[in-house]
Chains A and B, each alone.
Chain A
């Protein structure tokens, strides 16, 4: 196992990355008109680590900075400031060597040559990777088998379904046995069942081969499935990282609802709880609503004899869509930004942090 796969060092390390897209200079605008009229901050002071065998999902709305992050990681864009290493190699200083360690799957399936067969697409990629002969042929067969396309190896790209094209792109990314997979919306054009299967495959590959996977996604079911390693980005910043549970703890603040048998019972219970002075309680007919994410174990014993008058207790969770929507709209509490596992944690965990945005003159990407 090469050094780059050692479990005690991250395979992807982004340290205080900032990318500000400047408007093109006048000489350049003559040839290609730029839509940028003022500096756009696509990524701001972003730090993250991805460890061997770990799958991290980067989630955020359009313009959040996900694609810019991926393009910096693959050396297609130079950062304005910050430090990015892949398998310990500085991406800015030695992008070509760094790219040897990366399997990249772009969001657009046009990156495949649709006139070529599956086998030919992989052959061309393998040659550019420096592979040849029997080694290349067996690698192609193995990659196609891994993604379940061995039976259609002779089909051209045009004859593949969207799901198959996504799998072929994944096979191409895997062909040279990279230690890092960067997948830009890998399931974007795939139906929900196909997307689920593809995600399962990616998770299995990460676990079995020790590959560090960084993928972007818009799909809620995927975000739920990857809930331990989700990096939420908005306006170029990480607004939350870690598990969905930690996000719920910070963002959800569920309300405890208590329904009583009569309005009199409800009013009596309201008076008892109010007397403690540390809970925010409201009453609506027979129902009490206790805000501030209180534990039933704390609230219920305070009700005394009114406890027997309760007909129902409800502490419902927000749907994922609403939770994420709140996160993207909200001024995120500072603890949410640092909710990730500590940097010193072992290989199975990730970190991603970004401080609150300073008041500057740069417009965020939108």
Chain B
């Protein structure tokens, strides 16, 4: 009997592995098709594409001149320019997922193409990921260009912190994408606008320490800021990358990693469940493909 169990188990494992590989291959196939779609659509409007890429570069230059007027004390790691550019790059990376999930979904609904996508034999949960894939990719490239330009103009970073910073950034993007899926779930029902994204975007700018330290905020607002993943991502990356980062107030590097990991573990299943419920509601009330 034992021998039989021993024989069967590897077979099951192989089948399970093969199934997972097939699913991953399928997910890649679908996502790459959507990325190609985004790429070809973007290049259909070249001027718009070029301006979108140039605009963040101007932001970095503007921050440089603003930093000349700001006192760089220990609460900004003794270098306001580096402090604000790191914040801007991180927010750009994190925002890309959040905004892209709902905005691309809205565009697809308004262009009348959602229905034809929904009748394709793909997991509906893959659709927001697919639609947002190109936008996320270009945001990542733009953020990298911003970071590179910042370094060229004078942002000072510790290279030994890059690995930890990358981990924090990945977790931050994961948490942000989970919230993006929630936004897409709301969008499937609300169709236009997205109160969730609007409110969240305002909260990030005000509360997460993009342009000034969270410690500058009154205590009640500071408490609110710790409910938002970007706070941990920005602070964690500043601590690991900026030469004077250890002296910054706010969550430690470990606290940032744990908080963002916790966000991902909790928010991903919750957001996917919400998205599934939103699809079910749309199918029930017949509003899925409408606008």
Contact = CB atoms under 8 A, between A and B. Distances in A.
Interface of A: 21-22, 24, 28, 31-32, 34, 42, 68, 71, 74-78, 96-97, 99-100, 102, 104, 106, 108, 110-113, 115-116, 120, 124-125, 127-130, 132
B288 interface: yes
B29 A77 contact: no
A96 B123 contact: yes
B285 A21 contact: yes
Given A110-B113, A111-B112, A127-B29, A78 B283 contact: yes
Nearest to B113: A111
B281 interface: yes
A24 B289 CA distance: 16
Interface in B83-134: 111-113, 115-123
Interface in B138-184: none
Nearest to A27: B189
B190 interface: yes
B191 to A, nearest CB: 6
26 contacts: A22-B284, A24-B287, A28-B285, A31-B189, A32-B190, A34-B285, A42-B286, A71-B286, A71-B289, A75-B118, A76-B288, A76-B289, A77-B283, A78-B283, A96-B121, A97-B121, A104-B116, A104-B119, A111-B113, A111-B116, A115-B40, A115-B41, A124-B36, A128-B30, A128-B122, A130-B26
Interface residues of B, number: 35
B119 A77 contact: no
A32 B283 CA distance: 15
Most buried by A among B29, B112, B190, B283: B283
Interface of B: 26, 29-30, 32-33, 36-37, 40-41, 44, 111-113, 115-123, 186, 189-191, 280-281, 283-289
A124 B122 CA distance: 13
A24 B191 CA distance: 14
A99 B121 contact: yes
Contacts of B40: 115-116, 120
B21 to A, nearest CB: 14
Contacts of B280: 78
A132 B286 CA distance: 33
Nearest to B284: A78
Contacts of B117: 128
A78 B281 CA distance: 9
B38 to A, nearest CB: 11
A176 B41 CA distance: 24
Nearest to B32: A127
